Amino acid sequence: MPRPLHRGVSGIRVSGNSNDFWDAEVKDNTEKEDLDRNHSSSQSFLSLRSPFRFFFQDNSPSKYGVTENGFTADPFGGGTPRSRHRLTMLFLKLSLVVIVILALTGSFWWTISISTSSRGHIFRGYRRLQEQLVSDLWDIGELSLGPSRLKEIEFCSEEFENYIPCFNVSENVALGYSDGNEYDRLCGHGSRKSCLVLPPVNYKIPLRWPTGKEVIWVANVKITGQEVFSSGSLTKRMMMLEEDQISFRSASLMFDGVEDYSHQIAEMIGLRNESNFIQAGVRTILDIGCGYGSFGAHLFSKQLLTMCIANYESSGSQVQLTLERGLPAMIGSFNSKQLPYPSLSFDMLHCARCGVDWDKKAALIFPNLNVLSSVGKMCATDDGIFLIEADRVLKPGGYFVWTSPLTNVHTFLRDKEKQKRWNFVRDFAENLCWELISQQDETVVWKKTNKKSCYSSRKPGSFPPICSKGQDVESPYYQPLQNCIGGTNSRQWVPIEERATWPFRSNLNKNELELYGLHSEELVVDTANYKTAVRNYWSLLSPLIFSDHPKRPGDEDPSPPYNMFRNVLDMNAHYGGFNAALLEAGKSVWVMNVVPTTGPNYLPLVLDRGYIGVFHNWCEAFPTYPRTYDMVHADGLLSLETSQYRRCTMLDLLTEIDRLLRPEGWVIIHDKAPLIESARALTVQLKWDARVVEIESNSDERLLICQKPFFKRQATS
């Protein structure tokens, strides 16, 4: 669109040209018309100052002459020089008005064109100046306030150094929970603590990956060396304790035992060894009651991801120790609620002496029903309901591996009660359409059917029944256990044998993406964006770590960037693009992909890509111990959580991140500039080191890069 020749106050330019014309006209008049000329000049000057004045009538006599009968004389007719002069003046005034109107119209037209074509640039420029002003004022305010700046959050007392909100055993007992349900999850309004959790007195930064997978510091977990030796658990006693470390190196008997054990499972499935699990369609495994994660640690080297779940333990055992090794784990149980995973989530479920009585019913007791009316009461269920939940999260064609003394033929032949229990589990698994493919010693392997027709071919009235569409919730969030077979209504019912093997599985094809309502272009764009993001993140973090980051006394130079993190918590995983980009960039990490309950549910997509993840409400505490993750990543989470009425604040969210983050761990938050500035202000209260980074391709968004300092707790005398 061509730019108009004149813009702004065009009337000034027009007024100048009209005066020149008037000066030339005056020179032709005689001296005897000086009075009239001066009078006309005065009128012309006034007309130039107010070009629309002639449109308004006044009470003065007509300049054009009025006849006795009251009609106006014809201004265009011939007459005296005075009449011609008046005619000329009228023409000049009309011309002036037309020119002014055209000029104003052109100026207005130019303004409209600028607004439509450059509105975005002008708005972003204004926003950028405004945000910079807010940032500068904040910095000035901090300098001027000094000690009276925003009050920093206090540190929690020593008793909370391993505290997990929502898991308050004493409170649950007071409410009437028993029979193991006192260890279940209950998120009340008073469960959150408004303080910062400090590490134990002798806490040390975990060893870098992959060394940290095999050796941990005893002081970093609640279990002590004495408890390791005095425990009756064979697994614990086989761990090698070297001064202040617990070692899981391959020299230990325990590791060799796990290697033989996993090799045995592979052979029972019909594979040469555990390295062929991927060829059989197995990529993700749910390890129930995982001990210390040794099974998953061994399979990690085979490109298999094993999620460890176990009951909450006040001793910090199992889940805490597995997480300290840098392996995937979270608190979860089959006590009374469904797991926060979608139906058809895992390729294999594993239970080795996991403590779950698969033949029993859910022993949920609510003696204080009035107090717990919001939780609800679970009706009496038939035995085997835990197996139904295991079936729900198992993919079609997936495997259920159970190792227990109950399955030992030589044992239950001498014990009629154990034989009865085994017969029940075997028959119930058959009703679930599981095929018993192998049994050796104490280990049994079932394969879940990959054909829905199996359920309709059962005997009429067989238990459990198929869930209705209303019961079959794809991604339940701690809903009561159900006594019907779920997952059969899911569009993701695809046998593991028919899926692409890892790593091709991470790139879903067009038909697979259609199951989630996505186009392949959307996944391509998402992956490309996160590839760029990962490069930018590492270019930002590396100089901070290797240049101005203080070196810890006694430590060698840090390892290269590829292993600076062992695990990452992605708080708003979307399609799992950040996970995919990290793997493609060669970063030796695993990612806990969290899909918030407040946003679109893409968790089935994330899991089908061969990653691990969970459904979670970020207004509640994440079910894990403190100091779990080396990095926390949140892309768009602040916008998501603030877009609706929430019962929690941004400070609550950041305080929970601080609890989950290891000392010297990193936080990367990507969001709208105003939200980033608000979060940056709150980092002062959290005592984080924080930096705001502009994004060249988008001036409306910012990155907030933070590091949690290592505050040591002072030993009490």
In a domain, 692, yes or no: yes
- Say if residue 639's pLDDT is above 60: yes
How many domains does one find in the chain? 2
Residues 516, 652, single domain; the answer is yes
Residues 327, 398, single domain; the answer is yes
User: Per-residue pLDDT tens for 89-106?
Assistant: 888 888 888 887 887 777
Domain that holds residue 444: 256-361+383-451
Q: What is the 8-class DSSP label of residue 179?
A: T
Q: What is the 8-class DSSP label of residue 155?
A: B
In a domain, 59, yes or no: no
In a domain, 210, yes or no: no
CB crowding 92-118: b at 16 or more within 10 Å, else e: bbeebbebbeebeeebeebeeeeeeee
In a domain, 340, yes or no: yes
**Tokens standing for 219?**
């002081």
Domain edge (last residue) among 414, 435, 451: 451
Residues 340, 401, single domain; the answer is yes
User: Per-residue pLDDT tens for 302-323?
Assistant: 999 999 999 888 777 789 999 9
Confidence at residue 361, expressed as pLDDT on a 0 to 100 scale = 76
In a domain, 478, yes or no: no
In a domain, 155, yes or no: no
The mean pLDDT value for 486-493 works out to 92
In a domain, 519, yes or no: yes
The mean pLDDT value for 668-693 works out to 95
Residues 397, 308, single domain; the answer is yes
Residues 571, 445, single domain; the answer is no
| Separation in Å, CA 654 to CA 195, 505, 650, 681 | 11, 34, 6, 11
Inter-residue contact 233 to 269 (CB < 8 Å):
no
Inter-residue contact 85 to 36 (CB < 8 Å):
yes
Residues 320, 429, single domain; the answer is yes
The chain-wide mean pLDDT, for the chain, equals 78
pLDDT tier for residue 244 given thresholds of 50, 70 and 90: confident
Side chain identity at residue 465, one-letter code: P
| Stated pTM of the model | 0.75
CATH number at residue 649: 3.40.50.150
- Say if residue 278's pLDDT is above 60: yes
* Residues in the chain, total: 717
Residues 402, 331, single domain; the answer is yes
In a domain, 441, yes or no: yes
- Say if residue 570's pLDDT is above 60: yes
Residues 436, 533, single domain; the answer is no
